[in-house]
């Protein structure tokens, strides 16, 4: 019951931010989420031999969101470069030399793994087709996760990967189907609203493109889930944290999004580059 109630509350908050929030509200909410997830990542990374300073991860995450809010295109790469050099300098002067490069690499990876993908959420929202696109992304991720959980738990027989022993091929295929059905639900809901003069969920691309996009998002989401499982298994823990009742940690809830969002962003860049139209 805790899992269901927590899930419903999170969904309501996200949907409210997408359709009723402003850019600064969404950016702030995602930044706070990234800070909490980055802290969980830091705990996992430092549980071994890592010594990444907490102050650096907190400040670096906030700065990445700050420059994304004001200058999302030209400022991100320079900021990431500066933050990487600051961390390398700190580890070089405040630790043993054999840990300077590994700790700097672990810290920068955490920034690229957690913070940067989440900065894409407000960037997607800011597009002219951003609201329906972001809802489509979230719904595909949520539906795929739910379908994989319940079908895999009840009907799963064939193991998917050693990275996560509880995941099965049956659950994986159900996850793809769940994302496609949920994505089509958004598309047809948009068409129904458009027929009544409401363009809130207006989607221009053909239905078949939405199906392909839902599949791409789902595959990326499943890989994101497996990669986080690999990180947790490497750290010897089951959950990344205990912040969300019934769900584990923040990182456990957004692991799929951390890969799905960048993959979606790349698809959008390709569509724009080849003039394939808007979402």
277 vs 181, which has greater pLDDT? 181
pLDDT at 267: 96
* Cross-strand bridge partners of residue 168: 159
pLDDT band at 17 (very low <50, low <70, confident <90, very high): very high
State the pLDDT at residue 1: 61
Phi, psi of 47 (to 5 degrees): -70, -20
Distances (CA, A) of 197 to 104, 189, 200: 53, 13, 9
Please check the confidence at residue 124 and state whether its pLDDT lies above 80: yes
pLDDT (average), residues 135-151: 96
Least confident window among 35-39, 45-49, 153-157, 159-163: 45-49
**Top-confidence residue, 243 or 166:** 166
**Is 26's pLDDT higher than 90?**
yes
Q: Return d(Cα 196, Cα 76) in angstroms, integer.
A: 41
pLDDT digits (tens, 9 = 90+) for 190-233: 999 999 989 889 888 999 999 999 999 999 999 999 999 999 88
- List Cα–Cα distances, 66 to 24, 60, 113, 124, 265, in angstroms: 10, 10, 17, 16, 19
pLDDT digits (tens, 9 = 90+) for 255-268: 999 999 999 999 99
**What does the alpha-carbon distance between residue 6 and residue 60 come to, in Å, rounded to a whole number?**
29
- Residue 58 CB neighbour total at 10 angstroms: 14
Alpha carbon distance 181, 86 (integer Å): 46
User: Three-class SS of residue 159?
Assistant: strand
109: pLDDT strictly greater than 70: yes
Return the pLDDT at 160.
Answer: 92
Mean pLDDT of the chain: 91
pLDDT value for 70: 87
Share of the chain above pLDDT 70, in %: 98
Can you give the pLDDT at residue 49? Answer: 75
């Amino acid at each position: 019951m805790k899992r269901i109630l927590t899930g419903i509350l999170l969904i309501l908050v996200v949907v409210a931010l997408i359709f009723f929030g402003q850019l600064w509200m969404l950016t702030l909410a995602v930044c706070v989420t990234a800070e909490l997830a980055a802290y969980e990542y830091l705990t996992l990374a430092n549980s071994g031999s890592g010594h990444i300073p907490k102050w650096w991860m907190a400040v670096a995450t906030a700065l990445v969101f700050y420059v994304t809010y004001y200058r999302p295109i030209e400022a991100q790469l320079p900021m990431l470069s500066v933050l990487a050099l600051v961390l390398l300098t700190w580890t070089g002067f405040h630790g043993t030399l054999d840990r300077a490069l590994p700790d700097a690499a672990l810290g920068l990876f955490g920034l690229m793994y957690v913070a940067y993908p989440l900065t894409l959420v407000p960037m997607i929202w800011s597009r002219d087709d951003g609201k329906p696109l972001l809802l489509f992304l979230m719904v595909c991720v949520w539906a795929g996760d739910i379908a994989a959980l319940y079908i895999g738990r009840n009907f799963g027989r064939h193991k998917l990967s050693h990275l996560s022993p509880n995941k099965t091929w049956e659950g994986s295929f159900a996850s793809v189907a769940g994302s496609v059905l949920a994505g089509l639900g958004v598309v047809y809901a948009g068409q129904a609203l458009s027929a009544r003069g409401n363009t809130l969920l207006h989607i221009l691309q053909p239905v078949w493109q939405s199906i392909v996009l839902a599949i791409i998002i789902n595959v990326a989401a499943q890989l994101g889930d497996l990669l986080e499982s690999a990180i947790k298994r490497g750290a010897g823990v089951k959950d990344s944290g205990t912040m969300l009742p019934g769900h584990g940690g923040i990182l456990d809830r957004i692991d799929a999004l951390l890969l799905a969002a960048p993959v979606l962003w790349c698809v959008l860049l390709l569509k724009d580059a080849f003039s394939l139209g808007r979402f």
